[in-house]
């Protein structure tokens, strides 16, 4: 089985994204686009510029650093804003996303062509917070799609009962298959990212009782800590996950996206420090996603053989049974087609046995998600 461990479906990004306040959704979207490494250009002459027109790059990452520049989701995967009569553009999703939406039919059509059997729908607030939208996608293709529930992290502490009710409904009634947690959403709302603290325990107790895996997304706010070395924030986040797993032994946990690959580009390849490897939980229930194309597709050309030594190192130090291939579809299509995402992984892991390859590109996900 070929199971993509990291894909997306989302509603029209020109709408409200499932938020009660459309402006709140716009803030999430503007912050996500402003913080991203994709290039920016001026529309009238395609001259390259930076993100400083969209966000105060000297301030801490947050809603208060955003600038009022008529930021908008436009069309064909583009986001635009206007300064002194000039429009500026960032191409975040591929140009094929004409209507700024990506539904289950779109994804499954790509899966069919690439030879992908199943995919897991991930979550992030700037692509919408509606659990029902994701549940509808999964209901349409129950043999092809599974989806993660998302509970607004910034609402858990102030209304833990409401958060518990929402996660129970998402899994028990809406039929979602796991829970996604994004720690940096806490800091955006002035909260601390100590999600292993006692006041989160009632929520985590409820999540664990559902018997579904937890998918934790690296905190990009923490990765940008002033004065930190590249490895310190990654080590700190792995330590937080280890403490959580100590509290809830036996629960499957997945680190989405992987080990913040762009931080470790060195000498034409990747160099993951020993302190990062040593911080990875030594637990058969801990898994790491391999999403190289979305992070590095703009750095190295297909098939990206530069990551082969890192894959070999990960297999040796973590084990093929704890690594999960994913793509970030459809966003990754700004670099690679769906089929190239799969072929890149096969080419760069040609040193593996067939059994090991099958685990990484689908077997581990199938086991984890009860397929």
The total number of residues written for the chain in this structure: 371
| Residue 230 Rama label (left phi>0; alpha psi -120 to 50; beta) | alpha
Is the CB of residue 274 less than 8 Å from the CB of residue 231?
no
pTM of this structure:
0.96
pLDDT averaged over 10-residue windows placed end to end, the chain, 371 residues? 98 96 97 94 97 91 95 98 97 96 98 98 96 98 98 97 98 98 95 94 98 93 61 93 97 96 93 96 98 95 97 97 98 97 95 96 98 95
CATH code 3.20.20.140 for 3-11+99-368:
yes
Pairing of strands 86-91, 78-83: antiparallel
Task: Identify the pLDDT of residue 58.
Answer: 86
Is the CB of residue 61 less than 8 Å from the CB of residue 35?
yes
| Residue 172 Rama label (left phi>0; alpha psi -120 to 50; beta) | alpha
Task: Identify the pLDDT of residue 220.
Answer: 72
| Residue 251 Rama label (left phi>0; alpha psi -120 to 50; beta) | beta
Helix ranges restricted to H, the chain: 22-34, 104-114, 131-140, 153-156, 160-168, 184-188, 201-209, 220-223, 231-247, 274-279, 292-296, 308-317, 338-348, 354-358, 364-368
Task: Identify the pLDDT of residue 224.
Answer: 56
Task: Identify the pLDDT of residue 57.
Answer: 85
Would you list the domain boundaries of the chain?
Answer: 3-11+99-368, 22-91
Q: Which helix (H) or strand (E) holds 4?
A: strand 3-7
Task: Identify the pLDDT of residue 258.
Answer: 95
Is the CB of residue 63 less than 8 Å from the CB of residue 32?
no
Task: Identify the pLDDT of residue 219.
Answer: 84
């Amino acid at each position: 089985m070929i199971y993509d461990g990291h894909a997306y479906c989302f509603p029209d990004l020109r709408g409200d994204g499932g938020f009660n306040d459309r402006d709140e959704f716009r803030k999430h979207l503007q912050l996500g686009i402003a913080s991203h490494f994709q290039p920016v250009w001026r529309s009238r002459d395609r001259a390259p510029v930076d993100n400083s027109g969209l966000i105060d790059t000297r301030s801490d990452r947050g809603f208060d650093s955003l600038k009022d520049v008529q930021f908008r989701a436009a069309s064909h995967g583009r986001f635009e804003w206007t300064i002194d009569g000039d429009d500026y553009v960032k191409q975040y999703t591929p140009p094929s996303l004409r209507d700024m939406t990506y539904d289950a039919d779109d994804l499954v059509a790509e899966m069919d062509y690439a030879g992908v059997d199943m995919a897991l729908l991930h979550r992030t607030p700037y692509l919408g917070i509606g659990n029902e939208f994701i549940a509808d996608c999964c209901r349409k293709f129950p043999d092809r799609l599974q989806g993660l529930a998302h509970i607004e992290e910034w609402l858990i502490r102030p209304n833990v009962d409401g958060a518990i009710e929402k996660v129970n409904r998402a899994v028990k009634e809406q039929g979602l298959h796991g829970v996604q947690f994004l720690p940096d959403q806490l800091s955006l709302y002035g909260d601390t990212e100590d999600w292993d603290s006692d006041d989160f325990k009632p929520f985590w107790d409820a999540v664990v009782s559902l018997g579904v895996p937890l998918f934790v997304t690296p905190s990009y706010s923490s990765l940008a800590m002033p004065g930190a070395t590249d490895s310190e924030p990654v080590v700190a986040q792995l330590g937080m996950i280890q403490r959580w797993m100590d509290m809830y032994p036996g629960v499957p946990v997945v680190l989405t996206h992987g080990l913040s690959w762009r931080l470790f580009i060195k000498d034409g390849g990747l160099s993951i420090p020993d302190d990062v490897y040593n911080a990875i939980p030594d637990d058969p229930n801990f898994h790491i996603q391999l999403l190289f194309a979305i992070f590095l597709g703009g750095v190295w050309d297909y098939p990206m053989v530069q990551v082969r030594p890192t894959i070999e190192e990960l297999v040796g130090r973590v084990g093929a049974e704890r690594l999960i291939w994913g793509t970030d579809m459809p966003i990754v299509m700004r670099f690679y087609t769906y089929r190239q995402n799969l072929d890149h992984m096969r080419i760069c892991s040609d040193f593996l046995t067939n059994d090991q390859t099958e685990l990484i590109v689908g077997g581990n996900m199938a086991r984890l998600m009860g397929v």
